[in-house]
Structure 1
Amino acid sequence: GKGATFGTKFAASTIGNVLEWYDFSVFAGLASVLGEVFFPASSRVAALMEALAVFGAAFVMRPIGGAVFGWMGDAVGRKTALEVSIALMLVPSVAIGVLPGYGAIGPAATGLLVALRLCQGVAVGGELVTAYVFVAEHAPSAKFAPFWAGLVLDGANCGTLLGIGVVAAVRAALSAASLRRWGWRLCFLLGFPVGAVGVALRRRIGDDEPETLGQRNPLTEVWRTKRFETLCVA
C-alpha cells in the first residue's frame, strides 16, 4: 500500500527484470529447438538462423518501449507503467509456452511467435527505464539513489543466469525428442511464478508518486537543463 517500504519497492522493481531476462535467455538457449518447432523444416541451420533473427528482433523494439513507458511513467505514474510492463512480458511468455508449432497451424505459428517476441521487446525497453527511475525517485537517500538504481540491473543478471540454468537442467534431464515435443514449453512456463510474484509486489507498492508526475514536457526540460549529458548519452 501507500506505506510500502523501500525494500518492497526495490524488490518489485527488480523482479520484473528477472522475469524479462529469464525469458530472453531461455529463448536464446532454446533457439535450435524453437527453430525446428516454429519454422518450415528446410534445414536445421536455416531454422536456427530464423529463430535467432526473431530473438534479435525483440531488441529493435527496446527504444520504442523506453519511449512509450517513459511517457507513461510521467503521464500516469511509475506504478502503472511498472504494472503494464510486467504484464506485457508475462502474458507473451506464457503464450509462447502454449503456442502450437508450425506443424499444427503453419505460418500462423511463426507470425504469432514474432508478434509475441516484439511485445516482449517493448516490455524490456520500458521495464529498464521505468524501474531505474522508480528506484531512484524512492531511494531513502538522494545521495545513494544512483547506487540503488544501478542495482536494478542485477535483476537482469540474475534472470539471465536463472534462464541459462533452467535450460541446462531441462536439456540434461530430457531426451532430444522430449525436449522438442514439450520440454521447451516447460522452460517458458516456469517463468510464470516469477511474474506472478512480480505482479503481486507491484500491486503493494502504493500510489505515491513524485511531484514530477504529469509534467507536460519532461524531454524539453531535460534538453534545457542537461543538454551536454544528453548529447553524451546519445
Structure 2
Amino acid sequence: MTAIPATVRATAAPSTRRTLVSTGIGNAAEWYDWAIYATFAPYFSKQLFNPADPTSAILSTLAIFAVGFVARPFGGVVFGWVGDRFGRKNAMTLTVAMAAVGSLLIGVAPTFAAVGAFASLLLLVARLIQGLAHGGELPSSQTYLAEMAPREKRGFWATLIYFSGTLGNMAGALLGAVLAFSLPKAEMAAWGWRVPFILGALMGLYGLVMRARMPETEAFEELKTEKQGFGALMKEVVACRKQAFQVIGMTVGLTVIYYVWAIVAPTYAATSLKLDPGQALWSGFAANVVFLVALPFWGKLSDRIGRKPVLIIGAVGCAVLHFPMTWLLHDSVWQLFVSMSVMLVFIAAGASIAPAVYAELFPAKVRTAGVGIPYALAVAAFGGTAPYLQTLFTDVVKQPWMFNAYAVVLILVSIVVVLGLPETKGKDLRA
C-alpha cells in the first residue's frame, strides 16, 4: 500500500484515507513502471531482442521506452474524455488496469530465442498500453484528488501526486539495487528482470480493487445534465485553449528541471562524470527523501499565501541555482547529494501544487481532458527529450552549458506564464 504524507494521514477520516491511498497507489504504480523499465532494460533487451547484436538490442529497447512518451498525449485525449464523460473514478480505474496489463505482458513475455521477433513486438504493444494508461493516469487522478479535497487544504492534498509518484520511482530503483546485489548476473538475465514487472502487475491489481470502491466526486456528479460526446468535449477543450497553453507554459520548465535533477542526475553522474554507479544511486535516493519532506511544506504554504507566490519562489530558485549546482557537481557523491537536494527543495514548490493549479484553471465539464492533453504534450515534448539532449550536449557536442541554458530559459518561460495566471487558491471546483 502506497504511503501518504503523515500529516495528511493523521487528520483524515477512514473513508478519506481510503480515497488518498486509492489515488496514490495507481500514481505510484505508474512511476514504478517507468523506473523499472529504465533500470532493467540492460537485462531484458538481450532476452526480447536479438542477443547477437547487444548494442542494437539496447538501442531498440530504449526506442520502445520513448514510444511510451509518444503514446501519452493520446492517453490524455482518450482518458480525458472518459474522465469528463463517464467519471473521474472510472477513468482512474481503467488506467491502473491497463498499466497492470502492460507490466504483466512484459513480465511473462517469451524470449527472442523462443519466438523470434514476436517477443519484440509484444514489448512494443505492452509499452503502448502503458503509455496510453500513463497519459490518462495523472490528469484523472489529480482532477479527482483536487475535487475531493477540502478547498482550504487543496494545495496540501495535491502533494500526494508527486509524493506517491516519487515513492513508486524510489521503490523501482531500490528493487533494482536489491536484485542486482542478490542475484548472479546470469540469473538476473535469465529470470530476475521479470520479478519487478510481475510485482508491478500485482500492485496495479491492488490499485484496481481499491479504486473500484471509491466514490465519485461531487463536482462530476453535478455534471449529469452536461455530459457530452467526444466531439463536443474537444470543442470545449479548444474553447479553453488559453488555459491549455497556460498548462503547457507552466509545465515546460518544471518537467525539464525535474527530469534533470530528480530522475537523470544519478545516471548522468555515473556515466558522464564517472562516479561509482552504486554510490550515485544511493545519493540520489537520499536526495529524493529530501524532496518528499519538502512537498507537504510547500503545499501547506500555498493554502496560506496562495498558489502564485509558491510557484514563483520555486521557479526563481531553480533558475538562479541551476548553474551553481551544476558547477558544484564534479567528482564526489556528497556533491551529488547536496546539488540534488538543493534543487529538489525548490522543484518541490512547483511539483507539490501543480496538480491543484491545473484543476483550478478549468471548468468541471472539461477539467480532465483540459489538463490531460496539454500536460501530456508538454511532458512528451520537453520532459521526454531532456535526458537525450543533456547527453547530446555533454558527451557529443561537448558544450553542457548549452543544455543548462536551455533548461533555465524554459524555467523563465514558466515564470512568465505563472505571472499571468489568476490566483486560484480556494476556488470552488464544482463550477
Query: 1:45/1:127 Cα in 2 relative to 1: closer, same or farther (>3 Å)?
Result: same
Aligned partners of 1:132 and 1:150 also within 8 Å:
no
Equivalent position amino acid for 2:210 in 1: L
1:143 aligns with 2:152: yes
Equivalent position amino acid for 1:24 in 2: W
1:18 aligns with 2:28: yes
Runs of 4+ in 1 over 4 A off after TM superposition: 217-224
Match of 2:227 in 1: 215
Aligned partners of 1:4 and 1:206 also within 8 Å:
no
Superposition deviation, residue 28 in structure 1: 0.5
Match of 1:163 in 2: 172
Match of 2:243 in 1: 229
Query: 1:192/1:223 Cα in 2 relative to 1: closer, same or farther (>3 Å)?
Result: closer
> Which of 204-213 and 40-49 deviates more?
204-213
Equivalent position amino acid for 1:232 in 2: Q
- SS of aligned partner of 1:87: helix
Aligned partners of 1:92 and 1:116 also within 8 Å:
yes
TM-score, normalised on structure 1? Answer: 0.90
**Equivalenced residues, count:** 230
Match of 2:396 in 1: none
* Pairwise CA RMSD: 2.0
Rounded Cα–Cα distance in structure 2 between residues aligned with 1:104 and 1:83? 34
Equivalent position amino acid for 1:25 in 2: A
Aligned partners of 1:86 and 1:199 also within 8 Å:
yes
Residue 68 of structure 2, aligned match among 52, 58, 62: 58
Superposition deviation, residue 7 in structure 1: 2.2
Task: Name the structure, 1 or 2, with higher relative contact order (CA <8 Å, separation 6+).
Answer: 1
- SS of aligned partner of 1:212: coil
Match of 2:313 in 1: none
Unaligned runs of 5+ in 2: 1-12, 249-431
1:64-143 maps to which residues of 2 (within 5 A)?
64-139=74-149, 141-143=150-152
Superposition deviation, residue 192 in structure 1: 3.3
- SS of aligned partner of 2:193: helix
TM-score, normalised on structure 2? Answer: 0.50
Query: 1:222/1:40 Cα in 2 relative to 1: closer, same or farther (>3 Å)?
Result: closer
Rounded Cα–Cα distance in structure 2 between residues aligned with 1:40 and 1:192? 26
Rounded Cα–Cα distance in structure 1 between residues aligned with 2:236 and 2:156? 24
Aligned partners of 1:4 and 1:205 also within 8 Å:
no
Rounded Cα–Cα distance in structure 1 between residues aligned with 2:103 and 2:74? 19
- SS of aligned partner of 2:215: coil
**Identity of paired residues, percent?**
35
Q: Deviations over 1:200-227 (max 9, x none)?
A: 2112213455223553245545655x55
Superposition deviation, residue 4 in structure 1: 7.6
Match of 2:204 in 1: 195
Equivalent position amino acid for 2:70 in 1: V
Superposition deviation, residue 20 in structure 1: 1.5
Superposition deviation, residue 135 in structure 1: 0.5
Rounded Cα–Cα distance in structure 2 between residues aligned with 1:36 and 1:76? 42
Equivalent position amino acid for 1:202 in 2: R
